[in-house]
Structure 1
Amino acid sequence: MSKLDNICVYCGSGSGLNPKFGEAAERLGRRMAEAGIGLVYGGGSLGLMGTVARSVLLHGGTVTGIIPRFLTERERMLEAVQELIVTEDMHERKRLMFERSDAFVALPGGLGTLEETVEMLTWAQLGRHTKPIALANVDGYWGPLNALLAHMRAETFIRPGLEVDYLVVDEIDEIIPRLRRRLAEVPAETRADAEVTGRM
Structure 2
Amino acid sequence: MLGTEDPGRAVRARLLYLLFGAGWDIYNSNGDQIITLSNIERKIVEADCFVFTPGATLEDMFKAISIFVGYQTLDQHLSGKPTVILNTDFSWDPFFSVLDHLNKMGTIKQDHRDFLLTAGTPEAVLETLELVREKGVPDPGRHKIGEAKGTSFDTPIPTDYVGNVCVFCSATLEDPAYLADGRELGRLLAVNRLGCVSGAGRSGIMGAVVEGSVGAGGWTAGSNVPHIIELEGLPDGLSSFWLRPDIYTRMEVMIENSNAFVIFPGGAGTVQELLALMIFKRQENELMAGKPVVIFNRPNAAGVRFWDPLIDLLSGMCQPGDFVVANELADILPAITSGLAKREAVPV
Q: Is the 8 A contact 2:201 2:233 kept in 1?
A: yes
Could you tell me which residue of structure 1 aligns to residue 277 of structure 2? 120
Could you tell me which residue of structure 2 aligns to residue 11 of structure 1? 169
3-state secondary structure, aligned to 2:207 = helix
Q: Is the 8 A contact 1:125 1:163 kept in 2?
A: no
Q: Does 1:108 align with 2:265?
A: yes
**Structure 2 residue ranges without an equivalent (≥5):** 1-160, 300-304
Q: Does 1:147 align with 2:312?
A: yes
Q: Is the 8 A contact 1:62 1:82 kept in 2?
A: yes
1:163 is displaced (CA, Å) by 4.7
> Aligned partners of 2:239, 2:314: CA distance in 1, in Å?
37
> Aligned partners of 1:68, 1:135: CA distance in 2, in Å?
25
Of the three residues 137, 140, 146, the one matched with 2:297 is: 137
RMSD: 1.8
Larger radius of gyration: 2
Could you tell me which residue of structure 1 aligns to residue 223 of structure 2? 66
Q: Does 1:25 align with 2:185?
A: no
Could you tell me which residue of structure 1 aligns to residue 337 of structure 2? 180
1:90 is displaced (CA, Å) by 1.5
> Aligned partners of 1:118, 1:91: CA distance in 2, in Å?
12
Of the three residues 169, 175, 199, the one matched with 1:42 is: 199
- Matched residue type, 2:293: I
> Aligned partners of 1:183, 1:41: CA distance in 2, in Å?
19
Query: Normalising by the residue count of structure 2, what TM-score does the alignment of the two structures yield?
Result: 0.49
- Matched residue type, 1:44: G
**Structure 1 residue ranges without an equivalent (≥5):** 193-200
| CA distances 1:77-106 after superposition (whole Å, capped 9, x unpaired) | 124311122111112211110110000101
Q: Is the 8 A contact 2:165 2:259 kept in 1?
A: yes
- Matched residue type, 1:6: N
> Aligned partners of 1:182, 1:85: CA distance in 2, in Å?
26
Q: Does 1:84 align with 2:254?
A: no
Which structure has more relative contact order (CA 8 Å, sep 6+)? It is 1
Distance 1:179 1:123, change over 3 A: same
> Aligned partners of 2:306, 2:328: CA distance in 1, in Å?
12
> Aligned partners of 2:320, 2:342: CA distance in 1, in Å?
17
- Matched residue type, 1:7: V
